[in-house]
Chain A
């Protein structure tokens, strides 16, 4: 049985196209300092640092953890780097949590980041390989056929993705840190934006952002002494599956279903739509909301899109299960940090710290990340109570 652990501080930068005023170290540092300030702690209070970012080739900084030790106050402390592609922000938080749950450390700082303005993420995730035709697809090109297959199977109306794109940007307009600020966005505007990878339109895609996110995770004793309400970690799970096997179920990956079942079991969740108050889920392309609504058990297979269209996931429509009140990945996407932002935003919700995008009275929240070709999954459930 793992020891209890809780988030006692979160820190983020604001998200934007280009932070030319800071180095990568300066960007990462900003989020870390914000998390320490939120927890009312200093570098000396941290026992270990767990850092995550997307693959090195994205920014071309090989082993950034070496370059970041002084910026993250790691002098004389253990520092670890986690790698799981786009899900890395979530996996990093889970590795950090496990070091506290195991009793190895009392209080850890965890940080994830991406400076997309200095990177080549679009093509670095679609490498040519010997003896193969270069796919040259980028992320959207990879996921578009999977979305098409979802549309075919579910017979969902064509504008479900458009609705998600509008909903998440309206959520993002409530969040001052969000990169895209589009309070007046309309279905028509999204529909008329150009088609990038059919069926994914420009405004149905995530932006490219610079930014970083950090959290301080502490053991039960220290969390009880924390100046602000802790977000108790009620369940943690990761699952992986191979990307390149052509027979894999890509629309509704088994690893995602298994990961969700595991994390719900730990948190005592039987009906996620009913038992959870809010979810921050990795939706980089609009149609991934209905797809993950099904994969994560919020709706039966083939019916996720109905929740979206009913407004169940919308804060503005008073939905019963708001998804991505922060604006989600569709409003801010510093890739390596995006998973951790989901986890930190889930924690903010149950700490009552989410400002204008607070889901009133939120007590139990899901944070979710996926990465690779939807092959890595990382999830946690956090609560305002120990459980």
Chain B
């Protein structure tokens, strides 16, 4: 018995959307444009960076913004040996969880370093700003060792 041909066709679907960031994430991004990093104080006093609209424990609306430092400490990291096109660098770099000074929750960003040896847990890093800041997370171009 012969197998019938099953028809198939490439199918592409795309739509355009917009987003409103709201008063909390919007404030964080606006501050980035001014080369400043803000967190928000949670119900238990912890400073969360990037800020969240609602407390992760109590669900209360959060509104107490706190400036945090532009330097911090690497809590954990992953070295990217072979960067791909979508990555922020075309040479090896690290993704890291960085606990900024004054923050209680680490933030993920990229760390530029010449080699994996230069990155370690507990290492001090500082933010490097993009030449032009536009209110986007990539306004922080990367972190690098202090």
Contact = CB atoms under 8 A, between A and B. Distances in A.
A75 B59 contact: yes
A243 interface: no
Q: What class of interface size applies to chain A in its complex with B? A: 20 to 34
Given A70-B55, A75-B57, 9 more contacts: A19-B20, A43-B58, A57-B15, A71-B53, A72-B59, A75-B56, A75-B58, A120-B15, A130-B10
Interface string A269-309: 00000000000000000000000000000000000000000
Interface stretch (A85-93, A121-129, A150-158, A253-261): A121-129
Contacts of B61: 29
17 contacts: A19-B20, A22-B23, A23-B20, A23-B24, A23-B26, A23-B53, A29-B54, A57-B15, A60-B17, A70-B55, A70-B56, A71-B59, A75-B58, A118-B20, A128-B13, A130-B11, A131-B7
B2 interface: no
Contact of B53 (A19, A70, A119): A70
A60 B17 CA distance: 7
A26 B53 contact: yes
B20 A127 contact: no
Contacts of A129: 11
Contacts of A75: 56-59
Q: Which of B9, B16, B22 has the most CB of A within 10 A?
A: B22
Nearest to A70: B54
Interface of B: 7-11, 13, 15-26, 52-59, 61
Contacts of A24: 20
A73 B59 contact: yes
B117 to A, nearest CB: 38
Given A70-B56, A73-B59, A130-B9, A26 B15 contact: no
Contacts of B54: 25, 29, 70-71, 73
Contacts of A319: none
A117 interface: yes
A21 B24 CA distance: 11
A351 B22 CA distance: 34
Contact of B20 (A21, A123, A128, A131): A21
A59 interface: yes
A25 B53 contact: yes
A43 B59 contact: yes
Q: Which of B7, B15, B16, B19 has the most CB of A within 10 A?
A: B15
A127 B13 contact: yes
A129 B11 CA distance: 7
Interface string A12-40: 00000001111111100100000000000
A366 to B, nearest CB: 34
Nearest to B16: A120
Interface in A208-228: none
B49 to A, nearest CB: 16
Contacts of B8: 130
B15 A60 contact: yes
Contacts of B24: 23
Nearest 5 A-B pairs (CB), nearest first?
A23-B22, A73-B59, A130-B9, A60-B17, A120-B15
A21 B59 contact: no
Interface string A43-83: 10000000000000101100000000011111100000000
Contacts of B25: 23
A128 B12 CA distance: 9
A330 B58 CA distance: 38
Contacts of A43: 58-59
Given A23-B22, A26-B22, A29-B54, A123 B59 contact: no
